[in-house]
Structure 1
Amino acid sequence: MNDKNLIKSTCKELNLTYKQLGELIGYSEGALKTISSTGKVSENLEKSIALLYRIKELENKNKEMENLKTTLKKLLDLK
Structure 2
Amino acid sequence: MEKENLIKQTCKELNLTYKQLGEAIGLSEGRVKQLAISEVGEQAEKACLMLIKINKLEAELNEQKQLKTLLKNFIS
What is the TM-score with the length of structure 2 in the denominator?
Answer: 0.89
Counterpart of 1:63 in structure 2 is 62
* CA RMSD after TM alignment: 1.4
Structure index of larger Rg: 1
Counterpart of 1:15 in structure 2 is 15
Q: Does 1:5 align with 2:18?
A: no
Q: Report % sequence identity.
A: 51
Counterpart of 2:47 in structure 1 is 48
* Number of equivalenced pairs: 75
Uncovered stretches (5+) of structure 1, i.e. residues with no partner: none
What is the TM-score with the length of structure 1 in the denominator?
Answer: 0.86
Greater RCO structure (CA 8 Å; 6+ sep): 2
Following TM superposition, the consecutive aligned residue runs of length 4 or more in structure 1 with deviations greater than 4 angstroms are none
1:3 positional shift: 3.2
Rounded Cα–Cα distance in structure 1 between residues aligned with 2:16 and 2:8: 9
Uncovered stretches (5+) of structure 2, i.e. residues with no partner: none
